Amino acid sequence: MQLLIDNIIRPAPNVTHLLLKFDLDMPVERTVLQPKFYYSCMKVILDILENLLKPDVNALLHEFGFQLLYELCIDPLTREPTMDLLSNKKYHFFIKHLDTICIAPLPKRNSDQPLRISSLHQRAWLLKLLAVELHAGDVSSSTHREACQTILSHLFGQDMLEIGGGQAMSPFSLQTTYENAAIRTVSKSKVLELLEIIQFRCPDTSSKLSNIVAGLKYDLQAEDILGNPGNSGKGGVYYYSERNDRLIDLASFHDKLCQVCNLGSEVELIDVRETIQQLLRWGWKYNKNLEEQAAQLHMVTAWSQIVEVSASRRLAMLEDRSEILFQVLDASLSACASPDCSLKMAFILSQVALTCMAKLRDERFLFPGSLSSDNITCLDLIVVKQLSNGACLTILFKLIMAILRNESSEALRRRQYALLLSYFQYCQNVVDPDVPTTVLQFLLLSEQDNEYIDLPKIDKEQAELAHANFSTLRKEAQSILDLVIKDATHGSEPGKTISLYVLDALICIDHERYFLNQLQSRGFLRSCFTAISSVSNQDGGLSLDSLQRACTFEAELALLLRISHKYEKSGSQVLFSMGILWHLSPGRVISSQGGLRRVETRHRRDMATDIDRQRMIVTPILRLVFSLTSLVDTSEFLEVKNKIVREIIDFVKGHQPLFDYILRVDIAEADDLRMEQINLVVGILSKIWPYEESSEYGFVQGLFGLMHALFSRDLKVSSFAQSISPENQRNSELQMFKLCFSLNSYLYFLVTKKSLRLQSSDASSSYPTSVELQQPTLSLLNSLLTSVTTALERAAEDKSLLLNKIRDINELSRQEVDEIINMCVQQDYVPSSDNIHKRRYIAMVEMCQVVASWDWQIILLLPLSEHVLNIILIHLQESSVASDSTLITKTNTYGAKYDPEQDIAFLCGKLVPALERLELLSEDKIGRNLKVFHRLVTSAKEIAIQKLVL
């Protein structure tokens, strides 16, 4: 058997291929094995493994037989013919022993430990063999499909779905409920029985003899022999068994002991012999205990493989998938928190739990494939597989116990922290997050049978779960925070990063400022500020170590930003009062020497480094500074001693190259990262720069230059650009309008608070030099208003059209559904072979996302148009353009023939058509109350018409 196993990897054809009767006259992978018709080693092995006779005598033979079949199934050459053979109906090998040796009780350690060890290995190889079939089996073949279905059915005890036209086996039918997690009546699956089998405390394998042979005269010499690195090689006291376990060579150990023991009188000789015998007995027991520990770990690994492969690749074949995942997750966490669970086992079980949690999240928003009807409703957009609050809290409680286990390590806690973050994300949404609530409410109103849909009840249950999560965590908050803060402060860089995101998640569910107060009282926020101020990236690029530190730095800023957003102004006030701006300023993380050299002067490698720096350092800092601008109150404009404004202005002045560079980025070539930075910089400057009287920094000219670049252009992104997906196109348009909103808000502030008055057109401008120095004009604002009006009309029309299509989704033909999918998503995203039900579902969800995008545009465009109208209205009501402003020293004109009244009349002539179009906007299509908006439009139109008449 060992010969066969060792030779599998040798070049083909080899002795293993010959003895197992692979046809050596043709490529090995094309062989059709028929062991029942030919006398071969394969026939003998299959006969032995079919009955597993005399297990106490043939244990190793059975064990290596299973290992041989596993090695054949993972070898690239022998995999296909071997798996075809084992999945054949004549053998049913893959499921033959699931009901026998797999779940049979283990032999007792005291009575037959070698058989116990071999039994564990047999089950491990068998489970790994089944995992290979689930992973690599070709389900398009009826034999492999049936084999996979039968394996899953036996493992999880669940009904099967029909896959690929084949009828699945359904040996079990489970009635499950999520109403009460504490009283489940589901029959136990074999997966859980297998996990129970391997949950036992393994004997200690420590090589220290002081606690085992205490008082013996030569225990220290024995420890020196076993601990000497020189004794590990050839001729040493250790050897590797056929299972690759590092064991003590008892004969060599005996010889070494004899060499170091001093032989004196007859009495001493007897004492030495007795001591050596005790040490050898300990060595034999050490070997067996180590073998048992390795066997247990082997079976845990195999169990984890079959569970993870089933969850990742074959879960769609099962009914009640969420229930299965919950059971495995619950059992894994219970085992992980058990005192019998070793550190290595806990690590493996935590990874299984992490996989199950991730699949639970996926299950909530997957297409409801079990529905057979061709019709879909808004019910399909609501998650029906959400675990009950009781089940969720069970997961959280057991996860906390697993994190707080006595024997732990940072590597294990990193897995558990990732699981905790995944759990919090699972608890956040009941309704598909891609479907906005406003759209769902519209659909509910159009449903005839909507009495079973109660959104307020869903919201209430979600609020109750959030509060229960907080209460559960608060009970163990001191211990949890001790661990997380320790890892965030003294752990490795990856450990620090994920620990910071755990603290971020705790802030998210903080209902009473409890966790914020804890972070303050423990001094963690202060240490976080100190760590931020100490960051200094070298100009030469980001090495692996500095990149990991940059990830931690990004997580630190994300935590502070979460505090600012979660607690709103009070959170921002906490950060500001602790001097966050002072800690950000000394660092060189966003200096012009490191992050702002122009891309065209760099090598390609430096460009990638700059992208990392911009994404991980510069942008998070700008986000944090922008969040602090929420503390700026425009009502305090005349208050000179506004400390918040002064400190933010000082920060901006200290990083003038950064702000100046971003303001001058070409909008037409800006990617998503640059567009976000431009929006952040403009947002910061629009809030605080009106308080600054000095004009030496050039920011006003930069903002005015952006206005000229944006307000006069068509803000719609070309839909003919083949490289831009529909989703990216909508996002780009939204970013453009956000930028226009920020710029216009700044201009609105100047007009209303600082009495800035604009010229009506470029012909009346006081700056005959470069466009960048010109103020925006009323004509430019009118151009922006025209673009916004067009965008509002398009958004309202498309939103209304799509809502009607969503409502009539079941009436649309396949061609119409395909056109919708092609319009909303990229062609290769959705396979054309999907049935009409699934394609209607996809089209419905995609249309809901597009409607949400139009809704966001409408929410942004309405106040933007109001600001533009108010600015124009102020100027029209004054009957003439102001000739002076706080930012202009004097007004010049181009020639004596310039007529301001004629210029105003010309402006009004272009303004009235846009106002008339805005008057026609329908509340039904916009989805907003437009009474106040229409009054503003009417007032502006009346004055504009009066100017035309005059």
Of 364-378, 626-640, 724-738, where does mean pLDDT reach its minimum? Answer: 364-378
What does the pLDDT read at residue 362? 84
Cα–Cα distance between 814 and 819 in angstroms, integer?
Answer: 9
Q: Diameter of the chain by CA atoms? A: 133
Q: Where are the alpha helices (DSSP H) in 578-618?
A: 580-584, 592-595, 604-613
What does the pLDDT read at residue 214? 53
Which pLDDT tens digit goes with each residue over 607-624? 555 566 777 888 899 999
Average of pLDDT values for 936-949?
87
Q: Which two tokens stand for residue 320?
A: 């009640």
Average of pLDDT values for 451-463?
73
Of 34-38, 254-258, 634-638, 821-825, where does mean pLDDT reach its minimum? Answer: 634-638
**Per-residue pLDDT band at 634 (split at 50, 70, 90):** low
Of 155-164, 413-422, 693-702, where does mean pLDDT reach its minimum? Answer: 155-164
What does the pLDDT read at residue 641? 53
What does the pLDDT read at residue 91? 76
What does the pLDDT read at residue 742? 92
What does the pLDDT read at residue 111? 86
Which pLDDT tens digit goes with each residue over 818-861? 888 888 776 556 666 677 888 888 888 888 888 888 888 999 99
Phi and psi dihedrals of 247, rounded to 5?
-115, 165
Q: Provide the sign of the torsion angle of the four alpha carbons 815, 817, 821, 827, taken in this order.
A: negative
Number of Cα atoms under 13 Å in the Cβ half of residue 932: 7
Percent of the chain at pLDDT > 90 equals 37
What does the pLDDT read at residue 595? 43
Which pLDDT tens digit goes with each residue over 213-267? 555 566 667 777 787 766 666 667 888 888 888 898 898 888 888 877 765 566 6
What does the pLDDT read at residue 208? 59
Cα–Cα distance between 638 and 319 in angstroms, integer?
Answer: 67
More confident residue, 814 or 304: 304
Any residues with CB less than 8 A from the CB of 145 and at least 6 apart, and which?
137, 139, 163, 164, 166
**Per-residue pLDDT band at 412 (split at 50, 70, 90):** very high
What does the pLDDT read at residue 29? 81
Residue among 115, 40, 128, 35 nearest 82 (CA): 35
Of 19-23, 133-137, 865-869, where does mean pLDDT reach its minimum? Answer: 19-23
Instruction: Say which amino acid occupies 680.
Output: L
Q: Which two tokens stand for residue 505?
A: 């998640």
User: pLDDT averaged over the chain?
Assistant: 81
More confident residue, 589 or 493: 493
Which pLDDT tens digit goes with each residue over 724-772? 667 778 888 888 999 999 999 999 988 988 888 888 876 655 544 444 4
Phi and psi dihedrals of 240, rounded to 5?
-105, 125
Place of tokens 């970013």: 735
Q: What share of the chain is helix, strand, coil (3-state, %, to 5)?
A: 65, 0, 30
Of 36-50, 129-143, 607-621, 723-737, where does mean pLDDT reach its minimum? Answer: 607-621
Number of Cα atoms under 13 Å in the Cβ half of residue 709: 19
More confident residue, 822 or 781: 781
What does the pLDDT read at residue 884? 40
Average of pLDDT values for 540-564?
82
Q: Is the pLDDT of residue 428 over 70?
A: yes
Percent of the chain at pLDDT > 70 equals 79
What does the pLDDT read at residue 170? 38
What does the pLDDT read at residue 765? 54
What does the pLDDT read at residue 456? 75
How open is the CA angle 14-18-19, to the nearest 5 degrees? 120
Average of pLDDT values for 100-112?
87
What does the pLDDT read at residue 185? 36
Q: Is the pLDDT of residue 159 over 60?
A: no
Which pLDDT tens digit goes with each residue over 320-342? 888 899 999 999 999 999 988 99
